[in-house]
Amino acid sequence: MDTDLARRRALGEFIKTQREQTPPSQAGLPHLALGGRRRTPGLRREEVAQLCGISVTWYTWIEQGRTDSVSPQALSRIAEALHLPRAKRAYLFELAGKKDPVLPEHDEESAIAPEILEVVRNFRAPAYLMDRYWNAVAWNTAARKLFGGWLDARAASRNLLDFMFCTEEAQALTVDWEQRARRVVAEFRADCAQLLDDPQVASMVEELSARNALFKRAWRLQDVVEREGGERRFRHPQLGELRYRQVNFRVANRPDLKLVTLMPDTNGDED
């Protein structure tokens, strides 16, 4: 089956299931729930379409996976009509491959939970937490000692891309810096796929392209690579040659955050 068709069908099936599970009273239509027998305890298609301000025909096509032109705004209205909680709303936009238009720069709980910060601090190996723009927002002592010029007091910016492309420290620290830098660009493009129209991302790309020729060339290549971890090698001015295995985690209920850990590689195996 065509991948795009499969995605549309999965989206439509998810919306249909949520509609059938949403009682009229929850959607602000209590009079419908009291208006006699209904074939389904949930909302009807025409009721959701009316709540969303779209035609019944088009809404039906969405549920049937027959259209690929569903705008983020229409998806937002559907999510609101069905009173989707945050996790289901995020899943809806993930299935559609769209950016949620009402998603703020940070999640509702914009302050990082103390438990998450405690996890980062308690790692013995280097560990750091990044936001959706790849700014380091928390790190432990081991990471601060490893990444001089980024996570220590000398840093002019906490952004990983700024560190990688605009500091001498990164080039001296990173073994095979140019190869690794190209991959970082491809990883960032994959990571911010739904943020490419975000003004902050556009500004970052424009500034980095102006400051570093390698970034500019790498960004234009349109390469996309998942940030999946693997071997990382460093040449530290005080600690010498270091080899790690990078392991990445997503933080539950905070899709804007990612936890990166560098576990000592004792066997030196390649990826």
User: Based on the domain organization, do 130 and 54 belong to the same domain?
Assistant: no
Do the Cβ atoms of 259 and 251 come closer than 8 Å?
A: yes
User: Residue 246 in contact with residue 260, Cβ under 8 Å?
Assistant: yes
Is residue 52 domain-shared with residue 179, that is, in the same domain? Answer: no
**Would you say residue 269 has pLDDT above 80?**
no
**Which pair of structure tokens corresponds to residue 2?**
């065509």
125 & 216 share domain:
yes
Answer yes or no: do 68 and 193 share one domain.
no
Nearest to 115 by CA among 7, 2, 259, 256: 259
- Round to whole Å and give the CA distance between 126 and 120: 9
Residue 121 forms part of a structural domain? yes
Q: How confident is the model at residue 33 (pLDDT cuts 50, 70, 90)?
A: very low
Kindly state whether residue 227 falls inside one of the protein's structural domains.
yes
Q: Has residue 67 been placed in a domain?
A: yes
CATH number for position 41? 1.10.260.40
Going by C-alpha positions, the residue among 89, 101, 98, 99 that lies closest to residue 68 is 98
63, 96, 129: which is the final residue of a domain? 96
- 165 within domain boundaries: yes
Same domain assignment for residues 135 and 88: no
Q: Which domain holds residue 260?
A: 114-264
One domain for residues 155 and 221: yes
209: in domain: yes
- 208 and 248: one domain? yes
Mean pLDDT value of segment 175-182: 95
pLDDT tier at 39, thresholds 50, 70, 90: low
Q: Taking residues 28-36, report their average pLDDT.
A: 53
Indicate whether 92 and 135 sit together in one domain.
Answer: no
Neighbour-count burial of 208, counting CB atoms closer than 10 A to its CB (0-12 exposed, 13-18 middle, 19+ buried): buried
Look at residue 257 and tell me if it is in a domain.
Answer: yes
pLDDT of residue 232: 94
Single residue among 62, 96, 130 that ends a domain in this structure:
96
Domain at 254, CATH number = 3.30.450.180
81 belongs to a structural domain: yes
pLDDT (tens digit per residue) in 80-137? 899 888 778 888 888 888 877 766 544 433 578 899 999 999 999 999 999 989 999 9
State the Cα–Cα distance between residues 111 and 170, nearest whole angstrom: 29
Distance CA 135, CA 129 (A): 8
**In terms of domains, do 14 and 136 share one?**
no
- Are residue 139 and residue 240 in the same domain, yes or no? yes
Examine the domain organization and report whether 76 and 153 are in the same domain.
no
User: Does the residue 108 lie in any domain?
Assistant: no
What are the Cα distances from residue 125, in Å, to 145, 177, 245?
11, 22, 11
Does 85 share its domain with 128? Answer: no
pTM of the model: 0.63
Count of the separate structural domains present in the chain? 2
